């Protein structure tokens, strides 16, 4: 689901409370109604919207009561800094994801996995600790990103996000205006103006159709 739509959906406090309750156990409408202190009709409307978004599913028990539960895990990220704003929805990766391909991350991955109940409990504890460490690392990276962007702006005496993003695009390899435009998601004409400004300050140089950082 589009992250902006998901952000709007979860902007409602009662829908967030429903998900918090369903994360503990599956519930039927009257349980949710009692928990929220709102009418069953309002609960049904919230559940309908959550179902349409693919966040919640339902099943019927032997007594024909309909239970609702969270259909799958997801994470909604909102990132804001003086240089950027964005939202991103992330869903759990498959267990076969090759974590060894991560250049900047070292994780002890057990290829066999846990089997008995005690091992599963220990693995749960380890993964929760890892989750906390990754959260801390994300905060550190977010702070460093802002510091580095500010440093670039100070060096070139221009704190425009577009200027910083154009330079970051050229940090990997030389590119032409069209490729840079797609990378930073601004029109080619804007990229050309930025490149000309950076060239006048001896920050970038042109080689044929491609531009690259100077030195």
Secondary structure letter of residue 94 according to DSSP: P
pLDDT digits (tens, 9 = 90+) for 164-194: 889 889 988 899 999 999 998 899 999 999 9
State the sign of the Cα–Cα–Cα–Cα dihedral 129, 135, 141, 143: negative
Torsion angle, CA of 41/44/50/55, rounded to 10 degrees? 150
pTM equals 0.69
Which domains, ranges and CATH numbers included, belong to the chain?
3-70 (1.10.10.10), 93-153 (no CATH), 160-213 (1.10.10.10)
pLDDT digits (tens, 9 = 90+) for 7-48: 999 999 999 999 999 999 999 999 999 999 999 999 999 999
H/E run at residue 146? helix 117-156
Give the integer Cα–Cα distance in Å for 148 and 203.
16
């Amino acid at each position: 689901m589009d992250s902006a739509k998901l952000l709007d959906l979860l902007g409602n406090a009662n829908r967030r409370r429903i998900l918090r309750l369903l994360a503990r156990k599956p519930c039927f409408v009257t349980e949710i109604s009692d928990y929220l202190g709102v009418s069953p009709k309002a609960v049904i409307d919230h559940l309908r919207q959550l179902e349409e978004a693919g966040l919640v599913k339902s099943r019927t028990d032997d007594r024909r009561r309909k239970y609702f539960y969270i259909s799958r895990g997801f994470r909604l990220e909102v990132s804001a800094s003086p240089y950027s704003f964005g939202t991103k929805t992330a869903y759990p990766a498959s267990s076969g994801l090759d974590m060894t391909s991560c250049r900047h991350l070292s994780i002890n991955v057990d290829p066999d996995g846990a089997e008995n109940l005690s091992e599963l409990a220990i693995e749960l504890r380890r993964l929760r600790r890892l989750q906390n460490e990754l959260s801390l690392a994300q905060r550190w990276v977010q702070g460093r990103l802002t510091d580095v962007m500010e440093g670039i702006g100070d060096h070139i005496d221009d704190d425009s996000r577009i200027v910083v993003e154009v330079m970051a695009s050229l940090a990997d390899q030389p590119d032409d205006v069209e490729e840079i435009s797609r990378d930073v998601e601004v029109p080619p004409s804007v990229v050309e103006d930025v490149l000309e400004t950076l060239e006048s300050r001896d920050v970038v140089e042109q080689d044929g159709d491609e531009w690259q950082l100077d030195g």
